[in-house]
Amino acid sequence: AQSVTQLGSHVSVSEGALVLLRCNYSSSVPPYLFWYVQYPNQGLQLLLKYTSAATLVKGINGFEAEFKKSETSFHLTKPSAHMSDAAEYFCAVRGNSGYSTLTFGKGTMLLVSP
Amino acid sequence: GAVVSQHPSWVICKSGTSVKIECRSLDFQATTMFWYRQFPKQSLMLMATSNEGSKATYEQGVEKDKFLINHASLTLSTLTVTSAHPEDSSFYICSAVDRGANYGYTFGSGTRLTVV
């Protein structure tokens, strides 16, 4: 079965600082991995996804993530945090067949201070 | 890009009544939709997988008679919470798969259900 582990339920950074949100996965098949952002009382917005193409994936709002098979990781980064980046971030892995559901990590709340 | 419209965004109902939540794919056909439930400060928990024209597949522990799912067309899936109780209060989110978008999973904006 597929699973993801997000290290750290909360991450605090200062505005302008590097953002690093960690995600490790477990998958019995080559994984398809996703990062989503959720603002309060809203649905999930896709930041980026890895679907076995380039290992460095660039997403929206300046975010990117690197797929590292040897480390079973897919960490999300952004060079310079903005106040508007404060939100909940979820890492997810697709199930092992076709269009099966996504399995989500527990989420990481990103806090950005002035 | 693909858009999924979910309505209502919030609803308050009395115990014992039923509530219907709609999830529509606006610019693509979604043969598969997923329904999730999210408790405060927690992750999304899959409730069921909805396939157009067939019965939904429910996850273990989810009462199919309580959470009725209908996926009658390629663009619409509905979740009906029957005989709602306060413990059903939660944030419900749907997701639709856009098969033409290389594993595009698009999410609705969610429905905040409060049962009083």
Averaged pLDDT for residues A97-103: 77
Look at residue B5 in the predicted model and tell me its pLDDT. Answer: 95
Q: How far is A55 from chain B (nearest CA, A)?
A: 16
Query: Which residue from A33, A25, A35 is spatially nearest to A85, judged by alpha carbons?
Result: A35
Chain A residue numbers touching B49 (CB-CB < 8 A): 100-101
Chain B residue numbers touching A89 (CB-CB < 8 A): none
Q: Is B57 on the interface with A (CB under 8 A)?
A: no
A99 contacts B97? CB cut-off 8 A: yes
Q: Is B43 on the interface with A (CB under 8 A)?
A: yes
CB A14 within 8 A of CB A82: no
Look at residue B54 in the predicted model and tell me its pLDDT. Answer: 85
Residue A96 has pLDDT above 90, yes or no: no
User: Chain A residue with minimal CA distance to B5?
Assistant: A43
* pLDDT tens column, B49-62: 988 888 899 999 99
* pLDDT tens column, A20-64: 999 999 987 788 999 999 998 888 999 999 987 789 999 999 999
B107 contacts A104? CB cut-off 8 A: no
Averaged pLDDT for residues A65-86: 96
Q: Is B74 exposed, middle or buried (0-12, 13-18, 19+ CB in 10 A)?
A: middle
Residues of chain B with pLDDT under 50: none
Instruction: Provide, for chain A, the percentages of residues in helix, strand and coil under a 3-state DSSP scheme, each rounded to the nearest 5.
Output: 5, 55, 40
CB A112 within 8 A of CB A39: no
* Contact map slice: B 75-114 vs A, CB within 8 A: 91, 93, 95, 97, 99, 102-110, 112
- Residue A97 binned pLDDT confidence (cut-offs 50, 70, 90): low
Of B32, B97, B108, the CB nearest to A43: B108
The amino acid that residue B33 corresponds to is: M
* pLDDT tens column, B31-41: 889 999 998 88
Look at residue B51 in the predicted model and tell me its pLDDT. Answer: 86
User: Chain A residue with minimal CA distance to B4?
Assistant: A43
Give every CB contact of residue B111 below 8 A, 6+ residues apart in sequence. Answer: B6, B7, B8, B9, B10, B11, B21, B91, B92, B93
Give the best residue of B47, B77, B105, B114 to mutate against chain A (max A CB count within 10 A). Answer: B105
- Residue A98 binned pLDDT confidence (cut-offs 50, 70, 90): low
